[in-house]
Amino acid sequence: MSPIKQVSVEARQVDGYKIEAHARSHSLIIDQPVAGGGTDSGPTPLEYLFFSLAGCVCTIGHIIARQRKMDVRNISVRVEGELDTAVLSGKATEPRPGFTSIRVITEIDADMTQEEKEQFLRDIDARCPISDNLFNRTPVEFIVQQAEVVA
């Protein structure tokens, strides 16, 4: 089996900030809170980023625990971060549009010392795709599909 994995999703604006998205057989809604002009039909794009990171930490933790036959009973994760909305709202071009910092706070239910848990978490971080894509630069190419191609 090739180690190269291809991933793709599709999203389409339904109305205003409400977006319907699909990946394989799964569908979900992306929206903004009512206070932000949406209908709160689903989490925001920013929350989905954190779901991705939190899920990745639990997933890689489970892979490592299985591989090393560690008795890790449960992993729970809280992801939190702050961003300055001045750039995304168009009021400024500084400091940056995205999160300025992100914290991943884990609770690991296992018979391990605090130091062992911290090493386990460093091992998770080193193998976590989402952590890597956030911490290190990742090329993102933006393409407008030509009308001729679509038709």
Contact set for a copy of itself, span 22-81 (CB under 8 A)? 23-26, 28, 30, 32-33, 40, 42-64, 67, 74-81
Q: Which is nearer to a copy of itself, 71 or 150 (CB)?
A: 150
C-alpha 91: how far from chain center: 26
H or E element at residue 104: strand 99-110
Residues 6+ apart with CB under 8 A from 142: none
Query: How near is the Cβ of 126 to a copy of itself at its closest, in Å?
Result: 7
Query: How near is the Cβ of 84 to a copy of itself at its closest, in Å?
Result: 5
Neighbours of 124 (CB within 10 A): 25
Chain positions 77 to 136 lying near a copy of itself, rule: CB under 8 A, are: 77-91, 93, 96-108, 114, 117-118, 121-122, 124-136
Query: How near is the Cβ of 71 to a copy of itself at its closest, in Å?
Result: 14
Q: How far apart are CA 30 and CA 10, in angstroms?
A: 12
Candidate residues 34, 94, 111, 138; the one interacting with a copy of itself per rule CB under 8 A: 138
* Interaction between residue 151 and a copy of itself (CB under 8 A): no
What's the token pair of residue 116? 């062992």
Omega before residue 95 within 30° of 0, cis = yes
Candidate residues 10, 71, 94, 111; the one interacting with a copy of itself per rule CB under 8 A: 10
Query: How near is the Cβ of 70 to a copy of itself at its closest, in Å?
Result: 13
- Residue 110 pairs with which residues in a beta bridge? 72
